[in-house]
Structure 1
Amino acid sequence: MISIVGATGHTGRALVSLLENRQVPQRLLVRDTAAAGHLLGTHHDLRRIDTADPAGITATLDGSHALFLLMGNSPEQFIWERNIVQAAVRARVPRIVKVSGFSPAPESPGGVDRVHAAVEEYITASGLAYCFLRPSLAMYDIALLHGPGIRRHSVLSTALTGPVAFLDSRDLAAAAATALTQDGHEYTRYRITGPQAFTPAETAALLTTATGRRIIAARCSEEEEQHALQACGLPTFLTDHIQALFREINTGTVGEATSDYEKLTGLTPRTLHSYLAEHHTDFQPTST
């Protein structure tokens, strides 16, 4: 039995589907069983948890052979994930696979990466066998972060200048499925990326091919990007983290492709070209 925290997001939904197709028993730990059932199907073993109640989570994890942990970023993230880890230790769950930040470190300029570093440290000290997956920016982030400008003005406007090896969330799910169901990945850390890194100008060229419209990349100031991100509904703590991540990518120290996905799964990650071709309608002008 694999217990999954984070089943309703992009990666979680893909993981649930993968495990279901492989007939791997799974238990989905969610905050709202009705909403999760509507999204994923009521045939799943859906269990409501309160992330502020480690004792209740412990009971829910009873009998689990592995735990997948992926939570949305929030100011309470460390407390919530710590509570889940405590529950996993008490329930004697043998292994945990956590989706972390791409470059978590206590001194990271991004607050979210500092939280991930603290959670990784807590898990390491807990005695649980762990696998940390450190993903690059997701391919769906292009539409999330830059979709309005692309749809309205055919412009990918960003303060980002460095290359990014965008990752398909389905590949992150495949990496998690491997680490959850196969031995040999205990006490490991993998940087999971797409197969090739692209600059904003190169990404705009791929968008042009996918949409049939000329898309250009334009550099904006950090203040302009902050405003655009907040207009997308992102909270300040998360926009600050994105800006810090972009600065780090712009130095060239992160963002490049790795071969960790192939090493972990034996598979080749999906390309950005194929993803954009599949999701080109996300970047088309909205009709009024």
Structure 2
Amino acid sequence: MKIGVSGASGKLGGAVVAELTARGGGHELVAISRSPEKLSGTVEARQGDYDQPATILEAYAGLDRLLIIPSADLRVGVRGAQLKSAIDAALEAGVGHIFLISAAGTHEEADPSLGAAYWTGEQHLIKTAPRWTVLRMSYYAESMADEIKMSQGQGVLAGLGDEHVAYVSRDDLAAAAAGALLGHDHEGAIYTATGPVAVTGPERAAIVSELLGKPIGFAVITEEQFRAGLSQSGLPELIVEAFVEIKHTFVNGKFDIVTGDVQRLSGRSPKSLRDVLAQQLV
């Protein structure tokens, strides 16, 4: 069986390729990236750019299974169009089974919402592909670790309200994706990769306090205050608006879901937020 990973030079893509390689099984692996020179290892590397359909059509040729990982492009409408283009190319190339990384809580949304691209990709896949699987992800624990590193000097972690998030480790998502790609009976399934529990804002602050050995609080602030703080740090407006939207999803429950899908697909228990923060902060 020949398995392709589209978006292989990114952090998640690289982790999926590493998982697939470690699991062996005699399968042929193809790592696909718009920058194949960044890929390392013994697997076959192919050039494929979501914005250049001809390149991904060629890159997907001969694949039995393909994992499509969305790009990090936050421009309005771009990521959704990229996913549709990648799915169309995979179908034209004759890929037997298409797997798509999506986001927890995906539902019908319109641009400029971050969730619009995932909805577009999922719906296009379901409507056009004869064999498909969707793997939705909760919010990365590593991304929260990065945010904490930037704010820990202030002695407080900020939020927009009563948040509940089942943070998932990137490595656990990669292991779940690898397990799905190598497994059977996943056609037409929508999985959600989450951590073991949903964590509140105060609980997150308590974990950080314990790990750092100093008091860190949790404060609910206004959207205007949060946006102003990000703007003062010099972040581009597109990134600021993305962070604001993400903080709202923490409050409205988009990531307040806990499943056993990581263990089911990967064969191992998911790391907790504390596990990841202990690695990242200490």
Both structures adopt the same fold (TM-score exceeding 0.5) = yes
The one-letter code sitting in structure 2 at the alignment partner of 1:143 is A
- Which of these residues, 147, 150, 170, is aligned with residue 148 of structure 1? 150
Secondary structure of residue in 1 paired with 2:45: strand
Higher alpha-carbon deviation: 208-217 or 84-93: 208-217
The one-letter code sitting in structure 1 at the alignment partner of 2:115 is D
Aligned length: 276
- Which of these residues, 82, 85, 94, is aligned with residue 83 of structure 1? 85
Rate the CA distance shift 1:165–1:232 in 2: closer, same or farther, 3 A: farther
Counterpart residue number, 2:219: 218
In structure 2, distance between residues paired with 1:54 and 1:182: 28
Q: Deviations over 1:242-276 (max 9, x none)?
A: 43343343244642322232333343111122211
**TM value normalised by structure 2:** 0.88
Rate the CA distance shift 1:233–1:177 in 2: closer, same or farther, 3 A: farther
In structure 1, distance between residues paired with 2:53 and 2:130: 16
Counterpart residue number, 2:182: 181
Higher alpha-carbon deviation: 178-187 or 4-13: 4-13
When the two chains are superposed, the root-mean-square deviation of aligned CA atoms in Å is: 2.3
In structure 1, distance between residues paired with 2:266 and 2:199: 23
Counterpart residue number, 2:101: 99
Secondary structure of residue in 1 paired with 2:135: strand
Give the superposition deviation at 1:25: 2.5
User: What runs of 5+ residues in structure 1 fail to find an aligned partner?
Assistant: 282-288
Give the superposition deviation at 1:93: 0.5
Counterpart residue number, 1:29: 32
Counterpart residue number, 1:285: none
Q: Deviations over 1:85-110 (max 9, x none)?
A: 11100111111111112122223797
In structure 2, distance between residues paired with 1:232 and 1:135: 28
Q: Deviations over 1:5-50 (max 9, x none)?
A: 122333222211111112343211111222x13xxx2544222223
Rate the CA distance shift 1:60–1:129 in 2: closer, same or farther, 3 A: same
Rate the CA distance shift 1:105–1:218 in 2: closer, same or farther, 3 A: same
Rate the CA distance shift 1:32–1:227 in 2: closer, same or farther, 3 A: farther
In structure 2, distance between residues paired with 1:187 and 1:86: 18
Secondary structure of residue in 2 paired with 1:111: coil
The one-letter code sitting in structure 2 at the alignment partner of 1:226 is R
In structure 1, distance between residues paired with 2:255 and 2:16: 26
Counterpart residue number, 2:52: 53
In structure 2, distance between residues paired with 1:176 and 1:217: 33
The one-letter code sitting in structure 2 at the alignment partner of 1:45 is E
Matches within 5 A, 1:128-147: 128-147=130-149
In structure 1, distance between residues paired with 2:160 and 2:111: 16
**TM value normalised by structure 1:** 0.86
User: What runs of 5+ residues in structure 2 fail to find an aligned partner?
Assistant: none
In structure 1, distance between residues paired with 2:246 and 2:110: 9
In structure 2, distance between residues paired with 1:112 and 1:87: 23
- Asked whether the 8 Å contact 1:149–1:156 carries over to 2, the reply is yes
Rate the CA distance shift 1:248–1:274 in 2: closer, same or farther, 3 A: closer
In structure 2, distance between residues paired with 1:268 and 1:69: 24
The one-letter code sitting in structure 1 at the alignment partner of 2:162 is T
Q: Determine whether 1:66 maps to 2:68.
A: no
The one-letter code sitting in structure 2 at the alignment partner of 1:28 is A
In structure 2, distance between residues paired with 1:240 and 1:219: 18
- Asked whether the 8 Å contact 2:262–2:270 carries over to 1, the reply is yes
Higher alpha-carbon deviation: 201-210 or 100-109: 100-109
Rate the CA distance shift 1:74–1:252 in 2: closer, same or farther, 3 A: closer
The one-letter code sitting in structure 1 at the alignment partner of 2:193 is I
The one-letter code sitting in structure 2 at the alignment partner of 1:65 is D
In structure 2, distance between residues paired with 1:103 and 1:119: 14
Higher alpha-carbon deviation: 201-210 or 213-222: 213-222
The one-letter code sitting in structure 2 at the alignment partner of 1:163 is H
In structure 1, distance between residues paired with 2:41 and 2:236: 31
Counterpart residue number, 2:248: 247
Give the superposition deviation at 1:239: 4.0
Q: Percent identity?
A: 26
